[in-house]
Amino acid sequence: MAIAPLLVVFLYDALRKSYPDLTLVEYSQKILGKWLGIAISLLFISYFFITTATYLREIGDFMISHIMPDTPIQVIMILFMSVVLMAASLGLEPLARSAEIFFPFVVLLLSSLIILLLPEIKFQNLQPVWEGGLKPVIRGSIPFIVFPFIESVAVLMILPFVSQKDRIRKSLFVGQLLAGIVLIIITMLAILVLGPELTARQNYPIYMLAKKINIANFMTRLEAILAIIWFITIFIRFSLFFYVTVLGLAQTLKLQDYRPLVFPLGILLI
């Protein structure tokens, strides 16, 4: 099951090589014909749009639950959406460069969080291993594969704009691999520190992990580290999904520019 998300990379790379200058929406119509291709394209666009709306709601829920409980959720969503609208209007290159700039900070903060949690680990929380057999483990792995790894289908909308095309396959493979490693580490930490029952009950178990950090009663309540990591990463994903939504809709409608759709779709998201 852990290998399945990596196999998707070969499918993406094969599609990219077959249609190097076309996006997912464009070659869907080329492969399936005009009307069926448009129908399939609209399904993908709907998926991108719903995923983007989910990110926006998650941001609002997180803020009013843990950080700003007295602030109306609409205010938080409008403020965050304003930044995403700006990112989508500027285009793909500024978004990619911002992700490149933020990446070292995310790695540094995440590494610090993991190191500071090591004293809180309790290995007995892993027991019993495979209590219900292998079948529940396999059944639980299927949603883990679909979400979030299959979300990477959004990259098929931006691969034609990549300049170093000879590095696409390697980059996709490394990206999927690193994402899987990070998710496994965070999941293991949540179980080792919080225990399986508390982890299963929490909507934001990693945020509870950050609250557990206590170094000599001096370094405590470092959940701000986690909040910064989460805001940076969800901003990049949110902006990317919103960008491919408006780009895909513009290509389906045969528009010359996607930017006239940015503000109306942003209003619909809110």
123-171 per-position pLDDT tens digit:
887 777 766 777 777 777 777 666 666 778 888 898 888 888 888 888 8
Q: Tokens 């027991």 — which residue? A: 127
Q: What is the mean pLDDT of the chain?
A: 84
* 178 — pLDDT class (breaks 50, 70, 90): confident
Helix (H, G, I), strand (E, B) or coil at 268: helix
Short-list 194, 195, 189, CA closest to 128: 195
Helix (H, G, I), strand (E, B) or coil at 24: helix
* 208 — pLDDT class (breaks 50, 70, 90): confident
Q: How many CB atoms lie under 10 A from the CB of residue 265? A: 17
Please report the pLDDT score of residue 262 as a whole number.
93
Please report the pLDDT score of residue 15 as a whole number.
86
- Identity of the amino acid at 240: L
Residue pair 74/270 in contact (Cβ under 8 Å)? The answer is: yes
Please report the pLDDT score of residue 134 as a whole number.
74
Contacts of 203 (CB under 8 A, 6+ apart): 61, 65
pLDDT over 60 at 2, yes or no: no
Contacts of 26 (CB under 8 A, 6+ apart): 19, 251
pLDDT over 90 at 243, yes or no: yes
* 85 — pLDDT class (breaks 50, 70, 90): very high
- Which tokens go with 118? 């090591």
Please report the pLDDT score of residue 148 as a whole number.
67
Residue 163 or 219, more confident: 163
**3-state per-residue secondary structure call for 99-141:** HHHHHHHHHHHHHHHHHHHHHHCCHHHHCCCCCCCHHHHHHHH
Residue 258 or 177, more confident: 258
* 47 — pLDDT class (breaks 50, 70, 90): very high
Short-list 8, 13, 15, CA closest to 150: 8
Distance CA 6, CA 3 (A): 5
- In terms of average pLDDT, the best of 81-95, 109-123, 143-157, 179-193 is 81-95
